[in-house]
Amino acid sequence: LKVHMKKTPIAADVDVSTLSKGTPGFSGADLENLVNEAALLAAKRNKEKVEMEDFEEAKDKVVMGLARKSKVISEEDKKTTAYHEGGHALVARFLPGTDAVNKITIIPRGRSIGITWFLPEENEFQYKIQLESRLSVAFGGRVAEEIVFGRISTGAADDISRATELARKMVCAWGMSEVLGPLSYAQEKKQVFLGREIAQHRDYSEETAQKIDEEIESLIGDSCDRTRKILNENMDILHKLANILLEKEAVTGSELDDLIRVMRPGIEFPA
């Protein structure tokens, strides 16, 4: 990233480390595009140097596409999205082992009308407590909707899919079930031949399959309970965060931390 910045005047507020964490998997061409987009935004705003906000907006555009400012979103959907994304972010800040919140936004981009960005840590290993926290964060949006509005929407479909897949890997691939123990139950894909679809091979009994399902359900259930407890105990913060999002459309991770510190003086965030 620094290589591509060499020919661009960069403001002092640009945090290269934070940008790097927020662009995992970017190729050299992607990073070059990011710098170019940020420079164009800064030029349009008559800035002499490219600032952090330019890079953040450029990253959103590169990853998710242009902001769809012309898209008409109902007030009800905006409010649902604000609480949904706020739920994800708030749960993440109150649980150990979660990735840092980079930004929460309810600006429509691509196929999404809101997203919470995280800054993933580049660790070789992930531990059970971290994965359990990730499950709880994934359900932050759905549970927030349920508590605030007394209903749930289709907005959590992708969250549910990713959480279920993560829980399945914890049980079947990583041996993190106390009931089933450190055994691998990952299904193997057989070789594909002409005219045949991929077949799944399972070398365990129906009884074991049922236990696997029960363990996955248990992980999901426990994660939802943690999420619900955190949100119920911090509804005042969630309401405030949602209102700020409705007003500003975006909140940074540092702004979220500042809000929590104001409303919970002396708080120490879990590591």
85 carries an active-site annotation: yes
Question: Distance of CA 76 to CAs 104, 221, 227, Å?
Answer: 18, 28, 23
- Tokens standing for 63? 């990853």
Which amino acid type is present at position 127?
Y
28/48 Cα distance (integer angstroms): 25
Could you tell me the sign of the dihedral formed by the alpha carbons of 164, 166, 172, 176, in that order? negative
Contact call for residues 147 and 237 (beta carbons, < 8 A): no
What are 189's strand-pairing partners?
Answer: 200
73/81 Cα distance (integer angstroms): 10
- Tokens standing for 259? 């809000």
250/56 Cα distance (integer angstroms): 11
Of 51, 85, 145, 215, the catalytic one is 85
Distance of alpha carbon 63 from the chain centroid: 14
Contact call for residues 213 and 223 (beta carbons, < 8 A): no
DSSP strands (E only) in the chain: 100-105, 115-119, 188-189, 200-201, 250-252
Which amino acid type is present at position 179?
V
Residues with catalytic function: 85
